[in-house]
Amino acid sequence: MLKTLDARAVAIDGGFWARRQAVNREAALPHGLRMLETAGNLDNLRIAAGRAQGRFRGRVFADSDVYKWLEAAALEMARVPSAALRAQSETLIELVAAAQGADGYLNSYYTIAEPGRRWTDLAHGHELYCAGHLLQAAIAYRRALGDDRLLAIAQRVIDDIHKVFGPGRRATTDGHAEIEMALVELFRETGERRHLELAAFFLEQRGHGRIGENRYASPAAFQDRVPVREALTVEGHAVRALYLTTGVADRYLETGEAALLMLLTRQWEDMVTRKLYLTGGVGARHLAEAFGQPYELPSDLAYAETCGAIASLMWSWRLLLATGQARFADLIERTLYNAILAGVSLDGERYFYVNPLASNGEDEHLHRGGCHRKPWHAVACCPPNVMRLLASLGHYLATGDAEGLQIHQYASARIALADPGLALRMESDYPWDGRVRLTIETSSGSSWPLALRVPAWCAEATVTVNGAPAARGDTTTGYLRLTRAWRTGDVVELALAMAPRLVQAHPWIESTRGRVAIERGPLVYCVEHADQPHVAVADLEIDVASPLAEAWEPERLDGVTVVRAAGREADHASWDDRLYRPLESGGPAGGRPVMLTAIPYYAWANREPGAMRVWIPRLEESST
Ligand SMILES: [Zn+2]
């Protein structure tokens, strides 16, 4: 089993992710705080604290957005001290403390809007969910900053929950999983076994009809159809489903119960072989924000909530810790660079809730989709979730085990472990360049293995130590394993071939049949109107026989490598205004040759609105 590194062991200090983290810190967090003020989240706490008058605003889980913002702020401050963030977060922590009741209960919605109705609507009330987010934020303050003030508040909340729920008390759980992983984290932090046991208790409540009827009249929507131990597929609301599997995985990591890992593996394989978008997005359906049936993966109507992708990453991370298998780190990489990163604009102040893989470039008024990221959402779970994920990114780069170090994600960063005393510098222009240089800065001199992931997308990887080709060790888990007595100044150079490539989807996915997508390295690409302004994106076809070309363009979209492909703009004029026509009335293939310019999917919708496609029809002579 792999071990997470200390909260301050990894510092991303350059390159792609340092830029995203700087935007997160300097633009997204201040923006987020303004939005929490405007949307009423902070006023809700002020009213609950008796410091203001008024009605509750927003959704029942509004407090959780404040907690996620606080978690992100703690993690950012740990890396780069900020007097402004410190002052703002201290004001918020003091406000949260004031909103807490004498009995420890803390939830502004039930305090203001439905006093006397605590714990009466477990399916929709989100009380345990909010407590879970408070706890995660509190643990982040302790680990990142050594600050226990929020943890003192959170522990009183949890003590109150222990009095209400558990064996011999109320036997039910929240309709939205979240509390479980937070309780396991509190167990890890305090060593108090009762928190691990309460997490297990909440997990075991599912599948017995104890949560109550939900608004979709479907127990599957809230993961209440079967007990956790009988769940072999991912189903229902995607964020809820994967927060739950993350909680189950946390329980496995603490108990080592083999049956749980077997179940989780089955569910993860169900997801990646039948219910996963190319981007790593999950939850195809707008209805109930749910996983669809196998292969139900529409491109234009993809829901693929940003939070679902974050949940998938958190789950895969725990399965990576449990197994050491690169396939979990591969999915983390795919999800991070594509489904998650698309959720936030390049300037850090606009957010997608829904992440389609195709858009006609027009606004969508009936649901949360469309081609515009918005400054905030009425349901604002995603923006602060992206903020805390980006702030915690260093956590997902590397792990240790009994003897050595494993690098899972490549970035420019310094990794330092106190025990055993070792430090190394990792430098890379990833994801644009597949070369990674690791320099040993400190080593005990004893022999230990350094494991480097070879991504599944990479057809050719070479590695040298001090300029000489190195033995790769056992690569069955997807990692190169370099074992030697490392000395200060040793240099490892990994080169991952990163040529652009075409991929196709399983024929049972309706929306992608006859189409291909472009990938390069960990990035999924798309064609967007802004890069081919004189062509209708819907008419673009790609010639799969022509070679793909790439070019680094520093001025485009904060700097991206674009991929160009030969194709044509099909001429659909013979359709007139018909939607359907007899097959034999189709004319010969026609159109004009064009060069398609594809950009990384994460960067779409940062310019003037326009159509976008990930999956591009193949140019075939009979296709007009
Ligand atoms: Zn969300």
The pLDDT of residue 619 is above 80 = yes
Q: Lowest mean pLDDT: which of 239-253, 265-279, 391-405, 451-465?
A: 391-405
The sign one gets for the Cα dihedral 90, 93, 98, 104 is: negative
Q: Report the pLDDT value the prediction gives residue 370, as an integer from 0 to 100.
A: 82
What digits encode the pLDDT tens for the residues 409-440?
999 999 998 777 889 999 999 999 999 999 99
The four Cα atoms 183, 184, 190, 192 give a dihedral, to 10 degrees, of 80
What digits encode the pLDDT tens for the residues 54-89?
999 999 999 999 999 999 999 999 999 999 999 999
* 371 among known catalytic residues: no
The pLDDT of residue 588 is above 70 = no
Burial of 259 (0-12, 13-18, 19+ CB in 10 A): exposed
* % of the chain residues with pLDDT over 70: 98
∠ CA 282-285-290, nearest 5°, is 65
What digits encode the pLDDT tens for the residues 375-411?
999 999 999 999 999 999 999 999 998 778 999 999 9
Contact 303, 289 (CB under 8 A): yes
Question: In the sheet that 412-417 helps form, which strands lie side by side, from edge to edge?
Answer: 10-14, 412-417, 422-428, 435-442, 491-496, 461-465, 468-469
The pLDDT of residue 549 is above 60 = yes
Span from the CA of 239 to the centroid of ligand 1 (angstroms) = 8
- Cα-based distances in Å from 101 to 110, 112, 253, 267: 11, 12, 34, 40
Q: Report the pLDDT value the prediction gives residue 623, as an integer from 0 to 100.
A: 43
Alpha carbons 536 and 518: distance in angstroms, whole number = 19
Closest CA to 381 of 62, 602, 141, 137: 62
The pLDDT of residue 132 is above 60 = yes
Which position among 289, 333, 519, 528 bears the catalytic label?
Answer: 289
Span from the CA of 194 to the centroid of ligand 1 (angstroms) = 30
Q: Report the pLDDT value the prediction gives residue 624, as an integer from 0 to 100.
A: 42
Alpha carbons 241 and 222: distance in angstroms, whole number = 7
Span from the CA of 17 to the centroid of ligand 1 (angstroms) = 22
Q: Lowest mean pLDDT: which of 6-10, 282-286, 486-490?
A: 6-10
pTM of this prediction exceeds 0.75: yes
- Cα-based distances in Å from 388 to 65, 69, 73, 310, 560: 11, 7, 8, 10, 24
Span from the CA of 304 to the centroid of ligand 1 (angstroms) = 10
SS3 content of the chain, % helix, strand, coil (to 5): 40, 20, 40
Alpha carbons 24 and 384: distance in angstroms, whole number = 10
Span from the CA of 394 to the centroid of ligand 1 (angstroms) = 22
Average pLDDT of span 485-505: 97
Span from the CA of 408 to the centroid of ligand 1 (angstroms) = 26
Which position among 130, 381, 382, 458 bears the catalytic label?
Answer: 381
Span from the CA of 459 to the centroid of ligand 1 (angstroms) = 35
Closest CA to 441 of 426, 457, 427, 425: 425
Per the DSSP assignment, residues forming a β-bridge with 479 are 453
What digits encode the pLDDT tens for the residues 148-195?
999 999 999 999 999 999 999 999 999 999 999 999 999 999 999 999
Query: Which letter does DSSP use for residue 220 in this model?
Result: G
* Omega cis (within 30) before 431: yes
What digits encode the pLDDT tens for the residues 326-348?
999 999 999 999 999 999 999 99
DSSP structure string for 479-533: EEEEEEE--TT-EEEEEE----EEE---TT-GGGTTEEEEEETTEEEEEEGGGST
Buried b (16+ CB within 10 A) or exposed e, 560-599: bbbbbbbbbbbeeeeeeeeeeeeeeeeeeeebeebebbbb
Alpha carbons 345 and 340: distance in angstroms, whole number = 11
Alpha carbons 408 and 317: distance in angstroms, whole number = 10
Burial of 441 (0-12, 13-18, 19+ CB in 10 A): middle
Which residue type sits at 28? A
∠ CA 466-470-476, nearest 5°, is 140
**Angle between helix 306-323 and 258-274 (nearest 10):** 130
Contact 126, 65 (CB under 8 A): no
Q: Report the pLDDT value the prediction gives residue 589, as an integer from 0 to 100.
A: 67
* 185 among known catalytic residues: no
Which contiguous run of DSSP H or E holds residue 468?
A: strand 468-469
Helix ranges (H only) for 216-358 are 238-255, 258-274, 306-323, 326-334
Contact 66, 45 (CB under 8 A): yes
Per-residue tokens: 392: 């915690």
Residue with tokens 């509004």: 62
Alpha carbons 373 and 122: distance in angstroms, whole number = 32
Span from the CA of 46 to the centroid of ligand 1 (angstroms) = 24
∠ CA 11-15-21, nearest 5°, is 60
